[in-house]
Structure 1
Amino acid sequence: MAISKKRRRRGCLSFIFIIGFLLGFPFLWDRALDRFYAGRIYEPATLPRAETAIVFGARVYSSGRLSSMLRDRVQRAIDLYHAGQVDRLIVSGGVYDDGTSEPVAMKNYAIAQGVPEAAIVVDEGGLRTYDTCYRANAVYGVTEAVLVTQDFHLPRALFTCGALGINAHGLSADLRTYSERSMQFSESREFAAKLRALYDVVRRQPPSILSS
């Protein structure tokens, strides 16, 4: 009887430990990514030079106007190009059901700011961060790049691209204070997306769109 009680107690403690770990892991993973990749996020003056800047897509309105977050991402990349810190931009994102293309809108904005069209790679297969990083390496041959996006997104982008063979450096595109509603949505979505990123890089499945 005493042995049976001990076994039940050990089993109960093991179960509690497993449940506690499963509940706590997402928070630990979120914090670990932020802390580990903080050292790979640079200011423009200290940013290592790279051939390529990867600009991650975000919302584009049906008129072709970029959302404020996306405009800041593209503007950061434009500034890098004009400063001679990168030679080309990969603008990556998806295409909406109405035909609106995030990368084409990003390209048009960059061209209007003086970036030659020949220096811009349009990647319409970047439906997710994982897809963008995977395609940058597998389709466009990128092995080193500057990743341009907002602070909340950079740790996941750096982790994903790094796991997929890209020596990545992060540059924050936080050029303004975004609305509280926008930030709450982005940060809550990012928490779950960081877990998905771990699953993605372990699974290492090719994206749905792999051709250029």
Structure 2
Amino acid sequence: MIRMRRLAAAALLLFGLGCGALWGVNRWVETASAPYIVAPAYAPEADAVLILGARVYSETRVSPMLHDRLTAGLALYEAGKAPKIIVSGDNGQEEYDEVNAMKTFLIERGVPPEDIFMDHAGFSTYESLYRARAIFGVDRAIVVTQGYHLKRAVYVGRALGVDAYGVASDPRAYAGAERYEAREKLARAKDFVLVHTSRPKPTYLGEPFPITGDGRATHD
């Protein structure tokens, strides 16, 4: 009985320490990224607007969340905040393609194809920000995503050497928002460990496509 009580106490202690560490990492990420999350009018000029991918239903139909990211990113581009747009998402399977849906959305709204760079291997926030610098040579980026996600994206980008600023795209409430928020707390801890320890290479790297060039080179 005494042994069981000791084990239970140890388990509770470890659980408490884990919760404390998770809270501390989340607080750190939120505080460190806050100065760089700005309203669209206050976003600095940058090399590119980086729009992070989200669910799509087909090559011509994006989810509400991604629609709002694309709309906010397009507004920044049209305001002259950056001359190029990077659409970064999951194109790892032939039957699921976030980046071509994003490209189609932007072209239909008047963005010249040469100004759109496609990151087909943005499988995670960490990989999207890593590749923005390693593949596209971005020094400064305006990252666009929902507010709950933006803190981590900006933190990861800056930790990886990108002068990242963030603009939130939250014009409405989203179904499942509570679930996304809860999952994000764990994701922040995971990416915090990655950027401050091993910094693994993304799933794919490949040849560079400088953001100063023609985005059509990335459309294949």
**Structure 2 length normalisation: TM-score?**
0.84
Match of 1:28?
Answer: 24
| Alignment match of 1:167 (pick from 163, 174, 177) | 163
Match of 2:185?
Answer: 191
- Superposed CA RMSD: 2.0
Q: State the secondary structure of the residue aligned to 2:157.
A: helix
Write the distance in 1 (CA, Å) between the matches of 2:28 and 2:35. Answer: 12
The structural deviation recorded for 1:47 is 1.2
| Alignment match of 1:138 (pick from 134, 139, 146) | 134
**Aligned-partner residue type, residue 177 of structure 2:** M
**Aligned-partner residue type, residue 194 of structure 2:** D
| Alignment match of 1:58 (pick from 54, 60, 65) | 54
Q: 1:186 to 1:20 in 2, by over 3 A?
A: closer
Q: State the secondary structure of the residue aligned to 2:86.
A: strand
The structural deviation recorded for 1:17 is 7.0
Partners of 1:54 and 1:89 within 8 A in 2: yes
| Alignment match of 2:95 (pick from 92, 96, 99) | 99
Q: 1:178 to 1:23 in 2, by over 3 A?
A: closer
Write the distance in 2 (CA, Å) between the matches of 1:206 and 1:64. Answer: 31
Partners of 2:29 and 2:151 within 8 A in 1: yes
Count of residue correspondences:
198
Match of 1:90?
Answer: 86
Per-residue CA distance 1:163-182 (angstroms, 9 max, x = gap): 11100011011122222xx2
Q: State the secondary structure of the residue aligned to 1:125.
A: coil
Are 1:157 and 2:153 counterparts? yes
Per-residue CA distance 1:46-67 (angstroms, 9 max, x = gap): 1111121111000000353111
Write the distance in 2 (CA, Å) between the matches of 1:199 and 1:64. Answer: 36
Q: Which structure has the larger Rg over C-alpha atoms?
A: 1
**Aligned-partner residue type, residue 205 of structure 1:** P
Q: Give the fraction of aligned pairs with identical amino acids, expressed as a percent.
A: 37
Partners of 2:141 and 2:165 within 8 A in 1: yes
Where in structure 1 do 4 or more consecutive aligned residues deviate above 2 Å? Answer: 14-23, 96-100
Write the distance in 2 (CA, Å) between the matches of 1:128 and 1:94. Answer: 8
Write the distance in 2 (CA, Å) between the matches of 1:140 and 1:97. Answer: 22
Partners of 1:64 and 1:100 within 8 A in 2: no
Q: State the secondary structure of the residue aligned to 1:91.
A: strand
Q: State the secondary structure of the residue aligned to 1:153.
A: helix
Q: Which runs of 5+ in 1 are unaligned?
A: 1-13
Are 1:40 and 2:36 counterparts? yes
Match of 1:75?
Answer: 71
Write the distance in 2 (CA, Å) between the matches of 1:194 and 1:208. Answer: 19
Write the distance in 2 (CA, Å) between the matches of 1:168 and 1:79. Answer: 18
